[in-house]
Structure 1
Amino acid sequence: MSAVTGHHPVIEAIDARFQERRRQVPVLAQRADAEGITAIRAREDMVPLLFPHTTYKSYPESLVAKGRWAQLNRWLDSLSAHRVTGVDVTGVEDVDDWIDRLEAAGHLVSSSSGTSGKNSFLNKTRRDRDVSLRNLIDCLTEIGLPPEPVWHVVPVGPTTGVTAHTFIRDAIKDAYGRPDGIEIFEKAAPDKYHRYMARLNAMRRAMADGTARPDEVAAFEAEAARRQAEMEERAQHIADQVIAHRSERIFFHATFPMLYRLSELVRGRGVSEGFFTGENATTTGGGLKGDTLPPDYQDRIFGLFNITPSRFLHYYSMQELNVRMPKCPQGRYHVPPQLVLFVLDQAGETLAPVSDGQIEGRAAFFDLTVDGRWGGTITGDRIRVELGTCPCGRPGPTVFDEIVRYSDLADDDKITCAGTMEGYVRGFLQD
C-alpha cells in the first residue's frame, strides 16, 4: 500500500477529519504537534497518528481502585471529541456507576477486557451506535436478510448487563423478531458486569495469595455453582425451545463457542441433521474468543441447524470500529469504503511492503464514521491482505481468513509508540 499523494478522495477525507479532530481530541493534537504533522498528504503521514489499541486502557489502575472518578473523566476527556469534564460523579461507587453516569450525559462508553484483565474504555456517541446498527442491518440485507419480523430471534449467550451488548441484541430482535417469537427468560437479573468481574478478580487474587478466609472461599464457590446451574438451566431452556420450533425460522445471535455448545446439547437429545427444516440464520463476528473447538465445528453447527452460507453473516470488526468487514463466499473479509485499511510492520512504525499484490503485517484502520473519538487505530492483529480483485469478483482490499493476535504468538504484542501515547495521556492527568 504505497503512498498516495496529490488530490486523492481518501486522503482528502482523512485530512478533513484530522483538521476537525485535532481541535477536539487533546491527545491527537499533542501527538500531531510532537510529530510536526499539520496535514495529511499521504498514507505515511497517518502512521504516527494511529492510536495503539492499548491507548484506551492507558489510565492508571489506581484511579479505579481508589474511586478517583473525576480523574478518570479527565483521562477519558483527553481521548474524546466531546468534552467529558462536566459529568458529575458524585456518589459513583464503581465502574458500572461511572459508565451509567457517563451514558446519562450522552457518552456511551464501550468497554472490554483483554488478556491483561484491564478494561479498555472508548467514548462513543449515539451517532456511533446508530451507525453501527445501520451497518449491521445493511450487511445482513446485502446477503439477502433484510429486516423482516418473521424470525424467532434467539440470543444464545446470557445477558452481560453491558449496555452496548443489550442495544445490539434488542435492535436485532426489534428488526427481525416475530411478535410471538421465542422468549428467553433470564433466571435473575444479572449483576452489573464490571462489578461482578471486580469481585471475581479480587477473590481470585485473595485465593492465590492465601488471604481469602475459608468462609469467603465457600461463599464464592457457592455463588459460582449457582451461576453455573442457572446458565445450564438457561441453555437447556433454549434447546427445548429451538427443538419445539424446528420447522420455523430461527435467527441465532451468538458466538461460535456458544452456538456449538447449543448444538451439542441438542444432539444430546437424539437430534441429528435433517431434523430442523426451518430456514435458519445466524450472525457472528470474530473467531473462537480463546475457546478450542473441533476442526469441523462450523459444519456441525450449520448442518444440524440448517444454516446455509447465504443465511450466515460472518464479519471481522472490533470495538474501535463502527463498521464491519463482511466475509464473502470465497472466505475473504471485504473492507468497506468507510474504512481505510493500513497494514504496518509488527512494531507499528511503518507501512508494510507490498509483495505480488499482497501485504502481511499489523492491521490498522481509520474509520471515517467515528464520532466520539479519533478514528485511527492500530490493532493487535496480524493479517494478510490482497489488494486486487477478490475471487468473488468484487474489487478492493480483502483480508484473508487467517487473522491471529500478536499476543498469541511468541513474538508478543509490542507496538513501539504505545509507551509514548501512554505518556501523553498520563500527562493530561498531571497538568
Structure 2
Amino acid sequence: MSGTTTQRDEIVERLDARFQELRQQVPVLKQRADDEGITEIARREDMIPLLFPHTTYKSYPESLIAKGQWAQLNRWLDSLSAHRVEGVDVSDVVDVDGYIDALEAVGHLVSSSSGTSGKSSFLNKSVQDREVSMQNMLDCLTDLGIHRDNSWHVIPVGPETGLSGHNALRDLIYKEYGRPDGIERPSGAEASGHYAYMARLSAMRKAMADGTAAPDELATHEASAAARQAENERRLRHWAEQIIEHRTEKIFFNSQFPNLFRLTEILRELGMKEGDITGENAMTAGGGLKGMSLPADYQNQIFRMLNIDPSRFFHYYSMQELNIRLPKCASGRYHVPSELVLFVLDKNGEALAPESDGKVEGRAAFFDTTVDGRWGGTITGDKISVELGDCSCGRTGPTVDADITRYSDLADDDKITCAGTTDAYVRGFLED
C-alpha cells in the first residue's frame, strides 16, 4: 500500500523482526516458510504466503472433539502456538468447556468462536495478549473522551456466557468506569457450559438441514433455546427497569447491537419515549448483527432512545484473531492503528490487490504486531474497501469503509488458495 519510502521500510523491518522471532516457535509457520524458501521479509509481498487463512484455526478433525481425543487436540493447537501446549492435563476433560478450562489453568487463554455457523475455531492467546487487548480498549475509550472516573452506571447488556475473556472485559469496564453505587447486575448464577451448548446448537442445525433430526431431539433443543431466550429477556427487562429509574444519570452500555435493539423495544413496552432518557450516556459496541434482521435505522433508534451522542459512541472493527481494534471515526471510517499492518489482497488471497485513485478493494488481511501466543498474520473472510489518503476527520493513514461484507455471503464464496496447504501442514503434525 502507498506510503513514504521511510514508512514502508519501517513496516518491513517490523515484519521481519517478528518473523525472525517466531519462525522457530510456531511449527506451522516454520514449515510454511521453509516450503516457500522464505528466510527474511525484505518487502511486504514476502509476507503474503505466511499469512494464515482464518480457517486455519478450525483445521482440526471434528472427530477429535466427537471422540474426546483431547491430547490430540493439544498437538493440533501446539502446531499453531508460540508457547508449547505440552503437559496439559486433560485426563478429566469431558467436553470443550472443560478442555478450555484445562488450558486456561496453565496460561493458554484459548479464544473460540461460538460455532453458530458450524465448526468452532480455537486460537491460543497468552496472558499478555489479553492484557494488551484490554489496555487497547481503555486507550480507545480515552481517545474518544470517555474517561475513567468511576462516575458511570455500567450496563453490560448481553447475556452472560461464562467465558473468561468476556468476563475479563466486563469486569474491566466495571472497575475503570463503574460508580460504587452503580446499578446492580441481574441475579442468577454465573453461566456455564457455553461451548457445549453451541456444539449442540451446531449439530442440531445440521441435522435439521439434512432432515435427520429426531422429534425428541428437536423438542429438547427447542426447550433449551426457549429457556435461554427467556433468561435473556429477564435480564434485559431488569436493565430496562433500572434505566428508567436512573434515566437522568450517566450510563455506560457495553454490548452488541441485537441486544441493544431489543432493550429499546422493551423500554417502549414499558412506556418510555425518545427524549425520556436524558443522562449523557455512552456506549461501546463491536461485531455485527449475528445473523439477525433489524430495521435499516436500528442504530439511530438505539441512539435516540438511550440518548447516545455519536461523540460518546465507540464502535470498532476487529476480530478474535486481533488484539487491537480499528476505531471508527466521526466520518464513519475505521482507522488502522500503528500496531496493525493492513494488507488488501485479491479475492483468492494470493497477491496484493491493485490500487486505483488512492483506493483499493479486496480481501482484508492483517499482521498484528502485538500478538504473543501465536503468529500474528491472518487472512480474513472479509471484503473491504480502503482509502489510502487522509481521512476527512483530519487523521492520516489508511481507513476502511464501514461497508464490510463477508465473502461467504457473496455468490463467489469464500475460497482462499493457500487454505488447503496450511490445513495439510496441521494434519501432518497430528500424524507425526
TM-score of the superposition, structure 1-length normalised? 0.96
Asked if the contact 2:64–2:73 (Cα under 8 Å) also holds between the matched residues in 1, the reply is: yes
2:20 alignment partner in structure 1: 19
Q: More deviation in 177-186 or 137-146?
A: 177-186
Q: More deviation in 100-109 or 187-196?
A: 187-196
Secondary structure class of the residue paired with 1:38: coil
Distance 1:231 1:286 in 2: 19
Alpha-carbon distance, 1:217 to partner:
4.5
Q: More deviation in 230-239 or 168-177?
A: 230-239
Per the alignment, do residues 344 and 173 of structure 1 end up closer, same or farther by CA in structure 2, a change over 3 Å counting?
same
Secondary structure class of the residue paired with 1:360: strand
Distance 2:363 2:185 in 1: 40
Q: Does 1:56 align with 2:23?
A: no
Residue identity opposite 2:37 in structure 1: G
What pairs up with 1:200-239 in 2 under 5 angstroms?
Answer: 200-204=201-205, 216-239=217-240
Q: Does 1:163 align with 2:161?
A: no
Q: Percent identity?
A: 68
Per the alignment, do residues 347 and 3 of structure 1 end up closer, same or farther by CA in structure 2, a change over 3 Å counting?
farther
Distance 1:340 1:219 in 2: 46
Secondary structure class of the residue paired with 2:200: helix
Alpha-carbon distance, 1:146 to partner:
1.7
TM-score of the superposition, structure 2-length normalised? 0.96
Secondary structure class of the residue paired with 2:113: strand
Distance 1:232 1:113 in 2: 20
Q: More deviation in 192-201 or 85-94?
A: 192-201
Secondary structure class of the residue paired with 2:182: coil
Encode CA deviations 1:269-292: one digit per residue, 9 max, x unaligned.
Answer: 221121111100000113222222
Per the alignment, do residues 114 and 361 of structure 1 end up closer, same or farther by CA in structure 2, a change over 3 Å counting?
farther
Asked if the contact 1:2–1:43 (Cα under 8 Å) also holds between the matched residues in 2, the reply is: no
2:289 alignment partner in structure 1: 288
Asked if the contact 2:116–2:202 (Cα under 8 Å) also holds between the matched residues in 1, the reply is: no
Secondary structure class of the residue paired with 1:308: strand
2:425 alignment partner in structure 1: 424
Secondary structure class of the residue paired with 1:45: helix
Encode CA deviations 1:171-197: one digit per residue, 9 max, x unaligned.
Answer: 111111111111122444433111122
Asked if the contact 1:187–1:234 (Cα under 8 Å) also holds between the matched residues in 2, the reply is: no
Unmatched tracts of structure 2, length 5 or more: none
Residue identity opposite 2:311 in structure 1: S
Residue identity opposite 2:233 in structure 1: E
1:103 alignment partner in structure 2: 104
Secondary structure class of the residue paired with 1:8: helix
Asked if the contact 1:385–1:398 (Cα under 8 Å) also holds between the matched residues in 2, the reply is: yes
1:178 alignment partner in structure 2: 179
Unmatched tracts of structure 1, length 5 or more: none
2:79 alignment partner in structure 1: 78
Distance 2:23 2:119 in 1: 28
Distance 1:48 1:23 in 2: 17
Secondary structure class of the residue paired with 1:407: helix
Alpha-carbon distance, 1:2 to partner:
5.9
Q: Does 1:45 align with 2:46?
A: yes
Secondary structure class of the residue paired with 2:312: strand
Residue identity opposite 2:254 in structure 1: H
Distance 2:292 2:216 in 1: 32
1:400 alignment partner in structure 2: 401
Residue identity opposite 1:236 in structure 2: R
Encode CA deviations 1:347-386: one digit per residue, 9 max, x unaligned.
Answer: 0000001100110000000000000000000000000111
Q: More deviation in 262-271 or 179-188?
A: 179-188
Encode CA deviations 1:113-138: one digit per residue, 9 max, x unaligned.
Answer: 45641111000001000000000000
Distance 1:55 1:380 in 2: 12
